[in-house]
Amino acid sequence: MTKSNFSRREFLGVSAAVAGGSLAARNVLLSQESETLPTRRAAPSDTVKFGMIGVGMQGSGLLGTSIHLPGVECAGAADLYDGRHTLAREIVRPDLPVTRRYRDLLDNKNIDCIVAAVPDHWHRQVVIDTVSAGKDIYCEKPMSHTAADGFAMVDAAKRSGRIVQIGSQRVSSQTCAKAREIVAQGMLGDLMLVEGWLGRNDPTGAWQYPPPFDLSPQNLDWDTWQGDVVPKRPFNPLIFARWRCWKEYGTGVAGDLLVHLISGMMFMLGINEPPRQAAAVGGIRHWKDGRNMPDVHGVVYYFGDLPVYMRLNLATEMPETYRIQGSKGLLEVGGSSVSFTPQLGIDTYPSYYTGSFPRAMREEYLRRWHAENDEKLARLPPQESISYRMPDFDDTRPHLANFFDAVRTRKPVVEDVVFGHHAALACHMANESYFRKTAVTWDGASGTIRS
């Protein structure tokens, strides 16, 4: 046992009788219903008709959720793979109009807006075409595949005046709303550091999806699917199903998972700007299946002067978690819980450093310390840690509802094109730093990522 350990224990024992601000714990169960969800049936004139572009893993879920929102109807679906026309009809109705050409939906005057869940390399074109056709769009995250794509999308959205909602649905969760409230009330004091992490550990979590059995150039427009990526590749079902593994189509764990952590953090802290700097480490450490995107990716950022440390791992499972650290306490945010533990940030016991004083000096220090502090500490109100639980809360439904409501009312959405652009830039900086093997900075004047 070291001397300072002994002293600390000794002093803690001495001060236990006088320390105020003792910590109690409170648990609160929040109800499942969100205030943002419309519950009444909309009048027929209020009905929003949408077209679905991309009916894959995410699009099929968005489609099924959207059609169960009051006053929302699907008027058609587009996908380059015919099997997904069948799927769209199974989800909506057997006679749903389906097409391979998404522009057919944009030309349809009965369609008010679009929900798009196409791979990342198609986001720019789909968003620009949709807003240029005078329609609003919900587009999946990450908003852009490159920084330049993001600028083009922001420009097109601003020029058209159409609504763009980006699909990082965490920002519509009850957890993010509660955390944002706690931060806005100043309960954390000065923000010191934000940490966030997420890990998975199974082939599906690492994107090794099974391609549909019947996929062929006859039922998939493979040439269009590849977009403007060069060089064009021969038909490859693995690329179709596992496009996230390659930077030509996807944005890696940064665009797939980090973007959720970043968007949630920006929302909770009221940040709407790209990071100033990013420095990443990582590698293809486990899933050596021909991918060119890392399966482990850790990034240290400066958002303004706030240090932020995010880490993603596809070969060790870790539930998605934030630790927002402040001078007055710690806020932990999980998938369905938010916990705040207050901290006084003052000495509630005599400094253990004085274990290094000779006895007479130490006794004098203790005498003075107790005379100055005991009464003050005894008067401190009890501190209370508080945990909120949100059982099985679905954030996609309120996020979609927020979009359809905006289409109806023209009120701003929760995650617009500028917010989406900034969150995506943080992901592009994480990737650029990883590939360039050096820290990168955001140059706002030229709109580029610099080493």
Residues at the site binding ligand NAD, with contacts judged by CB under 6 A = 53-59, 78-81, 84, 102, 117-120, 122, 140-141, 167, 169, 224-225, 256
Q: Which is nearer to ligand NAD, 400 or 440 (CB)?
A: 400
Distance from C-alpha of 176 to C-alpha of 313, rounded to nearest angstrom: 22
Q: Which is nearer to ligand NAD, 56 or 355 (CB)?
A: 56
CB of 90 to ligand NAD, least distance (A): 14
**Dihedral pair phi/psi, residue 357, rounded to 5°:** -85, 150
Q: Which is nearer to ligand NAD, 78 or 154 (CB)?
A: 78
- Quick one: which of 131, 103, 117, 118 has its CA closest to 62? 117
CB of 225 to ligand NAD, least distance (A): 5
CB of 106 to ligand NAD, least distance (A): 11
CB of 26 to ligand NAD, least distance (A): 32
Q: How far is CA 47 from CA 109, 113, 332, 389, in A?
A: 14, 11, 40, 34
Q: Which is nearer to ligand NAD, 125 or 441 (CB)?
A: 125
User: Quick one: residue 71, left, alpha or beta (phi over 0 = left, psi -120 to 50 = alpha)?
Assistant: left
Q: Which is nearer to ligand NAD, 51 or 71 (CB)?
A: 51
User: Quick one: residue 189, left, alpha or beta (phi over 0 = left, psi -120 to 50 = alpha)?
Assistant: left
Q: Which is nearer to ligand NAD, 129 or 405 (CB)?
A: 129
- Quick one: which of 432, 428, 394 has its CA closest to 142? 428
CB of 422 to ligand NAD, least distance (A): 17
DSSP 105: H
Q: Which is nearer to ligand NAD, 11 or 249 (CB)?
A: 249
For residues 350 and 365, is the Cβ–Cβ distance under 8 A? Answer: yes
Q: How many CB atoms lie within 10 A of CB 362?
A: 16
Pairing relation of β-strands 318-326 and 191-199?
Answer: antiparallel
CB of 269 to ligand NAD, least distance (A): 21
State the residue number with the nearest CB to ligand NAD: 56
- Quick one: which of 174, 138, 146 has its CA closest to 66? 138
CB of 331 to ligand NAD, least distance (A): 23
Q: Which is nearer to ligand NAD, 117 or 188 (CB)?
A: 117
CB of 259 to ligand NAD, least distance (A): 8
116 Cβ neighbours under 8 A, 6+ residues apart: 52, 53, 54, 59, 123, 126, 127, 130, 137, 138, 139, 140
